[in-house]
Amino acid sequence: MFDVARVVEAWPLLAKGAWVTAQLTVAATAVSLIVGTLSAMLQLSGLRAGYWLSRVYVSAMRGTPLLVQLFVVFFGLPLLGIRGEAFLAAVIAIGLNSGAFVTEILRAAVLNVPRGQIEAAEAVGMSRWQLWRRTILPQAFVTSLPALTNEFTILLKATPLASVVAVTELTYAGQLVIARTFEPTEILLTVAAVYVAFVLCLSQVSRRMESRFARRWSIQ
Amino acid sequence: MLRSLPLLAAGLRWTVVVAILGMALALALSVVLVAMRRSAHRFVRAPARIYTEIILGVPILVLLFIVFFVLPEAGIVIDPLPAGLITLMLYYSPYLAEVIRGALNAVPAGQIEAARTVGMSRFRIAQRIVAPQAVGLMLPPMTGLFIGLTKDTAILSVISVAELTFQAKQVISRTYAPFEVYVLVAAGYWVLTFVLETALRRAETSVTRYRRA
Amino acid sequence: MTRRVIPLLSAAAIAIAGVAVSLSPPAHAEALDDIKARGKMLVAIDPTFAPFEYTDASGNIVGFDPAVLELVAEGMGVEIDYQVMGFSGIIPGLIAGSFDLTATALAVRKERAERIDFTVPVAAGVSGILRRGGDTKVAGTAPADLSGLKAAVKATTQPEQVLQGFNEELEQKGMKPIELLSVETVEQTIAALMAGRVDFVADDVAVLATVIKARSDDLEIVGTVGPSVYISWGTNKDDPALNAALNEQIIALKESGRLAELHMEYFGVTFDLPNENFIPAE
C-alpha cells in the first residue's frame, strides 16, 4: 500500500520544499523574537503610547487568522512598491503573527523577575537600557525558553499557509507532486514525517540551549 | 458587495457552529488522553504519549489532508464537515490534554492527602479540592487554545466546509474585491474571538472566586 | 474598561488599514518599464492544470501557457520569474499588484474583465462533465440530469460558476440543487470522484481528457456544459502598456502559425481566436 518508489521519485522536490520551510521558519522566528521583545518592552516601558501600540498589535494579531493576515500583507506590500517578494511577505506575516504571542510570553516572564534585583541594579547605577539588557531580558528569555520553544513549534507548523502567497514550501511542494501523480498517500505521510522530524530537532535544540543557559546564568 | 453580506453572515454562523463542536470534541478526547496518560499501565500510557508526540509535530493543514485524502485509500470516506471536526479534535486534544495534566499536577499532593485523612471520598476530593484549583489554572491556557481552534476553522475552507473563509473566497470570485472582503472577514473573526475570550475570562473569574475569599 | 477599548481600537485600526488599502490604487510605476528595467516579469501561475500548466518530475513549470509565454518573453527580450500559487489567490493578487501578470489559463468573463485586463485569447475551452465509467446515474449534462447529484469542482473557477448557475435554475424550478464540493486542485476533484464522495467532476474538457490519459481508472466524459469560453492571461488595469506588449507578441505568434502548432501539440485541435471584441456580453 505504501509505495516507497513514489517517495524516492518526489524526494528532490520535497527536499527543496523542506529547505524553504526551514528558511521560512528561521527567518520568521527572528522577526518574531525581535518584534516580540520590542513589543513587550514597549508595553512595560511606562510610555502610555507604547503600551497602547503594543496592546493593539497583540489584540489584532491574536484575534484574526494567519491566513487572512497573509493575504493582507501580500496584497498590501505592492502599495509600498514591493512586488514579487512572496517569501518576504510570508516572513513578515508569520513573524508579526508569532511576535504577538512572544510579547505575551515575555511580558509574563519580565513581570516575574524579582523586584529586588531590579532595585539592586538601579542601586548600582545601571541605566535603563543596561537594566533591560543585563538583568531583565536575559532572565526573561531563560525562564520563558520552554514557552518560546512551544511558540516556535507552532510557527513552524503554520508555515504551510505561506503557500497561499506563492511560497513553495514543503506542503505545497507535496501538493504540486500530487497534482501530477494523483497519488496523495505516500507524499502526504512523508510530508507529515518531515514536519515531525523538524519539530523533534527544534525541541532538541531548545533543550540544549536550556541546559547551556542554566549553566551560564547559573540558575538553579 | 452588499449583496454578499448574507453569504458572509451564513459563513460566520457555520464558523461558530464548527468552532463550538470542535471545542467540545477536542475537550472530550483530551479527557480520555489525560486518563490514559495517568494510567498505571504502561501499555495504556504509551499510545497516548506517542499520539501526542506525533500530533504536536504535524501541521493542522497536513493533518486535514491526511484525514480527507489519505483515509479514503484505506476505505474510510468522511464527508467534509465531519472530516473537518475530526481534524480539529485530533489536532487540539493533545494540546488541551497537556494543559489539563499540568493543572492537575499543580494541585499540591499534601492537600489531597489531608482531605483523605479527614475522610473525604474520592469524588468529594475531586469536587471540593482538585477541581476548583485545577479549573482556575487551566482556563487561561485553554482560552488561548480555543481562540487558536476558532481561527483554525478557516483551514476547513480547503475541503469545502462553507465557513467564513470559504464564503469569503466565493464572494471574492464574484466581486473581485479582495481587500474589502478580507477586512470584513478579519473583523468577523476578531469579534468571535473577543466574545470567546470575554466569556472564558468571566468563567475564570467566577471559578477562582475562592482565591479572593 | 481598558480591556474593552483595546479590541475596539484594533478593529478600528484594521478597518482604517483596510479602507486605506482598498481606496488607494495600486501605486506602482507602469509595469512594462519595471519589467524592462528588471529584465524579467513576475508571472503568477497555478501549475496544477495539465495540459495548460503543470510541473514535470523535476519541478519545472511546463504546459501550453508556459510554452507560449516563453516565446512571448523571448520576443519582449525579458525572462520569466514564476510566482507559483493556488488559483483562488491569483486574480486577487493581480488586482492588488502583487505580480505583473498571470499566465494561468483564465476563462474570459465579463465580471472578471471589469476588474482585470485580459490579453487577446490564447486558447478556447468548454467545461465538461466527467463520471466514473458506466455510472448511468449521471445521465446527461442538462441541469435536470444533474439535479440532486454531488459534484466536485475547483474552487472559484468557471466550471464552479456554471454549476452554481445551474443551481439557481434548478431552485427556480423547485428541483433539488447539485451539491458542490469545492476544493483547491483538479487532482483533489478526481480523488473525490474515485473515493465515491461525488458523482461527477466538472472542469475544462482538455483538462479532463488529460486526466483520463494519465490515469488507469475507468473514467469517461459525458458531455459539455455551459458556454464555450476564450482563455486568456490577465494583467492589472493600471498596466495597459504591458497588456499591449503581450498582445503584440501573441498576435505575432498567431500570424506566424506558431500558436496553432502549440495548440495541436497540447490539445490536438486548433482554435479560431479573435483579436478584438472577445469579452462576452453576459
| Closest Cβ–Cβ partner in A62, A69, A160 for B62 | A160
pLDDT surpassing 60 at residue C2: no
- Model confidence over B18-44: pLDDT tens digits? 999 999 999 999 999 999 999 999 999
Domain boundaries, chain A: 4-216
Count the Cβ atoms, other than its own, within 10 Å of residue A82. 14
- Model confidence over A137-148: pLDDT tens digits? 988 998 999 999
Q: What's C175's DSSP letter?
A: P
Q: What's C63's DSSP letter?
A: S
pLDDT surpassing 80 at residue C8: no
pLDDT surpassing 80 at residue C1: no
Taking an 8 Å cut-off on Cβ atoms, the answer to whether A63 and B194 are in contact is yes
> CA-to-CA distance for A193 and A2, rounded, in angstroms?
14
Q: What's B118's DSSP letter?
A: T
- Residues 6 or more apart from C174 whose CB is under 8 A from it? none
- Model confidence over A157-179: pLDDT tens digits? 999 999 988 999 999 999 999 99
- Model confidence over C71-105: pLDDT tens digits? 999 999 999 999 999 998 899 899 988 899 999 99
pLDDT surpassing 70 at residue B209: yes
Chains that touch B (3 or more CB pairs under 8 A): A, C
Longest dimension (CA), chain C: 72
Q: Is B33 within 8 Å of B93 (Cβ atoms)?
A: yes
pLDDT surpassing 80 at residue B111: yes
Asked if C88 reaches chain B (Cβ–Cβ under 8 Å), the answer is yes
Compare all CA atoms of chain B with the CA of C180 and give the residue at the minimum distance: B160
- For chains A and B, CB pairs below 8 A equal 90
- Model confidence over C129-140: pLDDT tens digits? 999 999 999 999
Taking an 8 Å cut-off on Cβ atoms, the answer to whether B166 and C182 are in contact is yes
Start-to-end Cα distance in chain C: 53
Bridge partners for C84 per DSSP: C45
Q: What is the mean pLDDT of residues C198-213?
A: 95
Q: Which residues of C touch B69 (CB under 8 A)?
A: 188, 191
Q: Which residues of B touch A196 (CB under 8 A)?
A: 53-54, 57-58
Reference A93, options A118, A64, A72; nearest CA is A72
Asked if B158 reaches chain C (Cβ–Cβ under 8 Å), the answer is yes
pLDDT surpassing 60 at residue C22: no
Q: Which residues of B touch C115 (CB under 8 A)?
A: 176
C-alpha cell at C204: 475544462
Reference B195, options B5, B4, B30, B15; nearest CA is B15
> CA-to-CA distance for B78 and B67, rounded, in angstroms?
8
Confidence (pTM): 0.90
Q: Which residues of A touch C190 (CB under 8 A)?
A: 182
Q: Indicate the helix (H) or strand (E) that contains A41.
A: helix A4-44
Taking an 8 Å cut-off on Cβ atoms, the answer to whether C187 and A60 are in contact is no
> CA-to-CA distance for B176 and C54, rounded, in angstroms?
25
Taking an 8 Å cut-off on Cβ atoms, the answer to whether A72 and C93 are in contact is no
C-alpha cell at A72: 493582507
Count the Cβ atoms, other than its own, within 10 Å of residue A89. 25
Q: How confident is the model at residue C13 (pLDDT cuts 50, 70, 90)?
A: low
Taking an 8 Å cut-off on Cβ atoms, the answer to whether C85 and A63 are in contact is no
pLDDT of residue C12: 57
Taking an 8 Å cut-off on Cβ atoms, the answer to whether C27 and A81 are in contact is yes
Enumerate domains of chain C plus CATH numbers.
28-124+230-267 (3.40.190.10), 126-228 (3.40.190.10)
Asked if B76 reaches chain C (Cβ–Cβ under 8 Å), the answer is no
> CA-to-CA distance for B55 and B37, rounded, in angstroms?
15
pLDDT surpassing 90 at residue A210: no
Residue whose grid cell is 458531455: C223
CATH topology of domain B2-212: MetI-like fold (1.10.3720)
C-alpha cell at A165: 502567497
> CA-to-CA distance for C226 and C228, rounded, in angstroms?
7
Q: What is the mean pLDDT of residues C4-8?
A: 55
**Homologous superfamily (CATH) for A4-216:** MetI-like (1.10.3720.10)
Taking an 8 Å cut-off on Cβ atoms, the answer to whether A81 and C28 are in contact is yes
CA A8 to chain centroid, in Å, comes to 31
Longest dimension (CA), chain B: 70
- Model confidence over A44-98: pLDDT tens digits? 988 899 999 999 999 999 999 998 899 888 877 887 877 778 899 999 999 999 9
Helices B131-152 and B80-106: crossing angle in degrees, nearest 10, is 150
pLDDT of residue C15: 57
Taking an 8 Å cut-off on Cβ atoms, the answer to whether B59 and A68 are in contact is no
- Model confidence over A29-59: pLDDT tens digits? 999 999 999 999 999 988 899 999 999 999 9
Longest dimension (CA), chain A: 70
Our CA-based measurement puts residue B152 at a distance from the nearest CA of chain A, in whole angstroms, of 7
| Closest Cβ–Cβ partner in C34, C57, C211 for A9 | C57
> CA-to-CA distance for C192 and C177, rounded, in angstroms?
19
Taking an 8 Å cut-off on Cβ atoms, the answer to whether C180 and B159 are in contact is no
pLDDT of residue C196: 93
pLDDT surpassing 70 at residue C5: no
Compare all CA atoms of chain C with the CA of B80 and give the residue at the minimum distance: C181
pLDDT of residue C202: 97
Taking an 8 Å cut-off on Cβ atoms, the answer to whether B70 and A199 are in contact is no
pLDDT of residue A213: 78
pLDDT of residue A218: 57
Our CA-based measurement puts residue C62 at a distance from the nearest CA of chain B, in whole angstroms, of 25
- Residues 6 or more apart from A143 whose CB is under 8 A from it? A109, A112, A219
> CA-to-CA distance for A197 and C73, rounded, in angstroms?
42
The residue of C187, C216, C217 whose CB has the most chain A CBs within 10 angstroms, and thus the best one to mutate to test that interface, is C187
Q: What is the mean pLDDT of residues C17-24?
A: 53
pLDDT surpassing 50 at residue C26: no
C-alpha cell at C139: 445521465
Measured over the CA atoms of residue C154, residue C157, residue C162 and residue C165, the dihedral's sign is positive
Taking an 8 Å cut-off on Cβ atoms, the answer to whether B173 and C21 are in contact is no
pLDDT surpassing 50 at residue B145: yes
Q: Which residues of A touch C59 (CB under 8 A)?
A: 12-13, 16, 173, 176
pLDDT of residue A220: 44
pLDDT averaged over every residue in chain A:
91
Taking an 8 Å cut-off on Cβ atoms, the answer to whether B66 and A192 are in contact is yes
- Model confidence over C30-77: pLDDT tens digits? 889 989 999 999 999 999 999 999 999 899 999 999 999 999 999 999
Chains that touch A (3 or more CB pairs under 8 A): B, C
CA C6 to chain centroid, in Å, comes to 41
Taking an 8 Å cut-off on Cβ atoms, the answer to whether C97 and A78 are in contact is yes
Asked if B151 reaches chain C (Cβ–Cβ under 8 Å), the answer is no
Taking an 8 Å cut-off on Cβ atoms, the answer to whether A166 and C85 are in contact is yes
- Model confidence over C112-122: pLDDT tens digits? 999 999 999 99
Q: Which residues of B touch C18 (CB under 8 A)?
A: 179-180, 182-183, 186
pLDDT averaged over every residue in chain B:
92
Residue type, A168: T
> CA-to-CA distance for C54 and C230, rounded, in angstroms?
20
Asked if B74 reaches chain C (Cβ–Cβ under 8 Å), the answer is no
> CA-to-CA distance for C27 and A170, rounded, in angstroms?
33
Ramachandran angles phi, psi of B78, nearest 5°: -115, 135
Q: Which residues of B touch A64 (CB under 8 A)?
A: 151, 186, 189-190, 193
Q: Which residues of A touch B62 (CB under 8 A)?
A: 160, 171, 188, 191-192, 195
pLDDT of residue C11: 56
pLDDT of residue C123: 97
Taking an 8 Å cut-off on Cβ atoms, the answer to whether C11 and B172 are in contact is no
Taking an 8 Å cut-off on Cβ atoms, the answer to whether A60 and C86 are in contact is no
Asked if B185 reaches chain A (Cβ–Cβ under 8 Å), the answer is yes
- Model confidence over B158-187: pLDDT tens digits? 999 999 999 999 998 888 888 788 888 999
Q: How confident is the model at residue C144 (pLDDT cuts 50, 70, 90)?
A: very high
Compare all CA atoms of chain B with the CA of C198 and give the residue at the minimum distance: B79
